Amino acid sequence: MNMEIPARSENESFVRVVVAAFVARIDPTLEELNEVKTAVSEAVTNCIIHAYDNTEEGVIRISVVLEGKKLCMEIEDRGKGIADIERAREPLYTEKPELERAGMGFSIMENFMDELYVESEPGKGTRVKMIRSFGKNAWDNH
């Protein structure tokens, strides 16, 4: 599934619902579904607030792929980019301390996903890739 949305705060909840509906077909637990919704919400919110500075001028691209019980999501913007990705991924680090919950976006995504990759270039945008497997571990079948 691929979609593009305007970088507006009201679209964050829309993306949560669409991704949840897409993932629901593999019958995740309610907890797993809520974690996916939260992770995608954080990624989209980062685009709106940081990449485009709440200007509603940008576009966010979302790609979601299911391969069996494995989910791969990519959230991409063409905003201002991140100069220091490692620093941006530190818990509580933020360039916008005046905002509620500032500095926890990447930490939340990392906690709810199995893998998180961030690619960014100042002035060109950011791509966040998240991977999550659902269901039993391979050794649970023995």
Q: Among all residues, which ones are annotated catalytic?
A: 42, 46, 101
Q: Are 78 and 58 in contact (CB under 8 A)?
A: yes
Q: DSSP letters along 79-109, please?
A: SS--S-HHHHTSTT--S-TTSTTTT-HHHHH
Tokens encoding 72:
């791969």
Phi, psi of 32 (to 5 degrees): -60, -45
Q: Which residues contact 141 (CB under 8 A, 6 or more apart)?
A: none
